[in-house]
Amino acid sequence: MDVRAAIALEPGKPLVVDTVQLEGPRDGEVLIEIMATGICHTDKYTLSGQDPEGVFPAILGHEGAGIVRKVGKGVTSVKPGDHVIPVYIPECRQCPACLSQKTNLCTAIRATQGRGLMPDGTTRFSYKGKPVHNYMGCSTFANFTVVPEIAVAKIRPDAPFDRACYVGCGVTTGVGSVIWGAKVEPNSTVAVFGLGGIGLNVIQGAKMVGARQIVGVDINPARAPLAEKFGMTDFLNPAALPEGEDVVSKIIEMTGGGADYTFECIGNVTLMRQALESAHRGWGVACVIGVAAAGQEISTRPFQLITGRKWMGTAYGGARGRTDTPKVVDMYMEGRVDIDDLITNRIPLEKINEAFEMMGRGEGIRTVVDY
Ligand code: NAD
Ligand code: DAO
Ligand code: ZN
């Protein structure tokens, strides 16, 4: 079938909006009509050409919501008409990782997904007769996509697509990192580095679980009012610190010894170190969420770990793709999670390159494409 898509033909070049061809679902696959998609920094990173897993041409996008239109042979967990979110962390419920109950990082289709292919090693998209790669197993910058059944999370039918799509990455990554990743307890102190699309969701997750102090750290003071609305109790702007004061000492002072939990939501290895070192001696946990550029490394003095701080990280907030994604949609529908305030821009697919430019200028939190 013909579908409308934004195609990443080459790294570093604007997306091309055109008609591409999509093959129907094969065994174990699902055809989804994508109704809305968010645009995330990871799409921008891959388009830039810096992502070692980035393959071209490809149809990017991994934050979508839509309706199942057709299922391949053997598919039992969803049917045409179901409302769904395609998830870039699948959940097969059979692989050693899924069965371990210790991680959300299902390995069932990891190898092919990382190469932009469907589990059988082929692609469903083509453009001008040539195959076009899939992206993160989702490819939501197209109004129809085909994904494996194990990467389809069924959600309640009354959730609006233009909000539910953001659950497919940003909301779940932030809120999930608090609940399922770091497992923040009530009454904790928390420091969040970076108050963008991920950090704000960490803040609202921390507030939801009853953190008593939430320090937000950002060099952009324009981010503070929304962060306060989401639950930030203290704002720290590293760029405005007086001469001789540093972020780590300041957080230790503000929290009375260091934060119980810190989250790095930027992708900057220097700040990852600061986040670890501002965690409380003896028990503080520092959670890395930000994706650093390829080849970057983190460092600290081992003494920081000997004295009880723990360094960890999450992908997709530690959420299990099919089991936990619908729970986050429920949290939104029950009014426990705010998504409305984070959707700052809505565009048709034709204007998708403008959204990438806005992201580069640090404008807005999330742009959603309405198909
Ligand atoms: P964003 O650009 O919306 O937010 C980043 C924030 O960091 C901005 O407010 C910016 O002002 C602030 N910032 C930048 N440099 C800073 C500095 N030196 N000190 C203090 N603040 C600074 O980005 P986002 O959408 O929130 O994404 C954040 C990171 O999370 C990215 O690296 C993204 O790739 C990553 N991410 C990770 C996962 C995961 O599963 N681990 C999922 C999605 C996104
Ligand atoms: O299973 O080894 C693995 C990797 C799974 C993918 C992890 C994705 C990490 C988050 C990247 C940013 C998401 C938008
Ligand atoms: Zn699995």
Domain ranges within the chain, ordered by starting residue: 2-170+318-370, 183-313
Pocket lined around ligand 1, Cβ cut-off 6 Å: 40-42, 169, 173, 194-199, 217-220, 223, 238, 265-268, 271, 289-291, 314-316, 362
For 85-132, write each residue's pLDDT tens digit: 999 999 999 999 999 999 999 999 999 999 999 999 999 999 999 999
The ligand 2 atom at the shortest distance from the C-alpha of residue 40 is 14
Helix/strand/coil (H/E/C) assignment for every residue in 205-258: HHHHCCCCEEEEECCCHHHHHHHHHHCCCEEECHHHCCCCCCHHHHHHHHHCCC
Percent of the chain with pLDDT over 90: 97
pLDDT at 218: 98
288 lines ligand 2 (CB under 6 A): no
Q: Tell me the C-alpha distance between 13 and 369, whole Å.
A: 19
For 19-70, write each residue's pLDDT tens digit: 999 999 999 999 999 999 999 999 999 999 998 889 999 999 999 999 999 9
Catalytic annotation, residues = 40-42, 62-63, 92, 95, 98, 106, 110, 169, 366
**CATH class of segment(s) 183-313:** alpha beta
Confidence of residue 200 (pLDDT cuts 50, 70, 90): very high
Q: What is the dihedral of CA 317, 320, 322, 325, to 10 degrees?
A: -30
Sheet holding 16-22, edge to edge: 2-7, 16-22, 125-127, 130-132
Question: Ligand 2: which residue has its CA nearest to atom 3?
Answer: 105
Assign domain 2-170+318-370 to its CATH superfamily: Medium-chain alcohol dehydrogenases, catalytic domain (3.90.180.10)
Q: Which of 53, 198, 215 to mutate to test the pocket of ligand 1 (most atoms within 8 A of CB)?
A: 198
Q: Tell me the C-alpha distance between 168 and 134, whole Å.
A: 16
pLDDT mean over 209-238:
98
Percent of the chain with pLDDT over 70: 100
For 303-316, write each residue's pLDDT tens digit: 999 999 999 999 99
In this structure, which ligand is nearest to the CA of 269? 1
In this structure, which ligand is nearest to the CA of 88? 2
